[in-house]
Amino acid sequence: HAGPPLLAVGGHHDHFTEETVALWRAWGGSSARLLLGPWGHPLTAAPGPDAGPAHRLNLGELYVRWARR
């Protein structure tokens, strides 16, 4: 269990999804967060066929909000 917080972000259509989830699980503790959505590796730049308007996130703003908490 690592001490620093973690925000792991991945996509259902990303070829690194398994690694993202494995990192999140291995990190452990209450400081680890996981965000998965219908994205490819470029995340919001290449949404998957199951993505809708609500899946378009401003990841920069999300990271800043998470870091401030």
Q: Is the pLDDT of residue 62 over 90?
A: no
Q: Is the pTM here over 0.85, yes or no?
A: no
Q: What is the pLDDT of residues 1-38, one digit of tens each?
A: 557 889 998 888 888 999 999 999 999 878 899 988 88
The whole-number pLDDT of residue 34 equals 92
**Cα gap 55→62, rounded to integer Å:** 13
Pairing of strands 43-47, 39-40: antiparallel
**Cα gap 20→4, rounded to integer Å:** 16
List the structure tokens of 39: 């994205």
Question: Which residue stretches of 5-69 are H helix?
Answer: 17-27, 59-68
The whole-number pLDDT of residue 49 equals 74
